[in-house]
Structure 1
Amino acid sequence: MVYYSPVTLDRTFAALADPTRRALLARLSESEAVSVSDLAKPFAMSLPAIMKHLDVLKDAGLVTREKSGRVVSCRLNAEPMHEANEWLNRYQRFWSDGLDRLEAFLEEDSWTPPSSQASRQASPSSADSAPRPKRSSRPGPTRKK
């Protein structure tokens, strides 16, 4: 049995839980290294806010930073996501087996829906029924002034 570090998995899933951080990772996956200012351009938030997101990604081990002069570049490190994916795959087998059993059950069922014409016909009891008379209700309470 494979054991996973709960701290690593917790940090990975916490980092991936935020849509901004997922978008940052997606941008990093498209290039080898991207400067922080280039990463921040498409987002409607301040550079310090982007830096906080990058700190969370760095703490989870998903991003590495390198400073060259005044430029800080970020790189994607996908290893923690690989570990999280392996953890999720254990549960994928569970869901796949359950969905396969459901599919087999549904294929065994020989029930067919009624034709559209049959569903349009009124039930036999509705022809004999008379419409109910409208009931009047007593007046409600009045507001005190």
Structure 2
Amino acid sequence: MSESSQLRDVFDAIADPTRRRLIHLLAEEEEIPLHELTAQFTMGRTAVSKHLTILKEAGLALDRKVGRETRFRLNASPLREVQDWLAFYNKFWSANMLRLNQLLEDEEE
């Protein structure tokens, strides 16, 4: 799925703590079966599958069938949009912290 054909906004997909945890779990392994992902949560398989569907719609998760098992892996490239958005605010806060530091130093003199 290309970034232009994503069905869901990546920010929407990462807004939920369960989906952020799923992304973290997927990042730790090359590929994880659904039953192993489900074992990491107190919710059922259907609920985990719904969260994975949202991640797939945002292009963040890819799946493949191996026999009767579905395995998932992370596709981190859509997170570049989040990283780019945050980079602006990182510059913003860095500049403001430098200004604040300068003001505090000026007051001490």
User: How many matched pairs?
Assistant: 105
Per the alignment, residue 62 of structure 2 pairs with 64
What stretches of structure 2 of length at least 5 have no aligned partner? Answer: none
Per the alignment, residue 84 of structure 1 pairs with 82
Q: Which amino acid aligns with 1:15?
A: A
Tell me the distance in 1 between the aligned counterparts of 2:40 and 2:65. Answer: 22
Tell me the distance in 2 between the aligned counterparts of 1:12 and 1:33. Answer: 21
**Residues 69-117 of structure 1: per-residue CA shift (max 9 Å, x gap):** 1010000000000222012102221221111101111121128xxxxxx
Per the alignment, residue 29 of structure 1 pairs with 27
SS of 2:18 mapped into structure 1: helix
Q: Which amino acid aligns with 1:35?
A: P
Q: Which amino acid aligns with 1:23?
A: R
Structure number with greater Rg is: 1
Q: Which amino acid aligns with 1:39?
A: L
What stretches of structure 1 of length at least 5 have no aligned partner? Answer: 112-145
Bigger RCO of structures 1 and 2 (CA < 8 A, at least 6 apart): 2
Give the % identical residues: 42
Q: What aligned pairs does 1:83-102 form with structure 2 within 5 A after superposition?
A: 83-102=81-100
Per the alignment, residue 39 of structure 1 pairs with 37
Tell me the distance in 1 between the aligned counterparts of 2:102 and 2:92. Answer: 16
Tell me the distance in 1 between the aligned counterparts of 2:59 and 2:69. Answer: 21
Q: Which runs of 4+ in 1 moved over 6 A?
A: none
Choose between structure 1 and 2: higher helix proportion: 2
Q: Normalised by the size of structure 1, how large is the TM-score? A: 0.67
SS of 1:61 mapped into structure 2: coil
Q: 1:54 aligns with which of 44, 48, 52?
A: 52
What is the Cα-based RMSD across aligned positions, in Å? 1.9
Tell me the distance in 2 between the aligned counterparts of 1:66 and 1:42. Answer: 20
Q: Normalised by the size of structure 2, how large is the TM-score? A: 0.88
Q: Which amino acid aligns with 1:71?
A: E
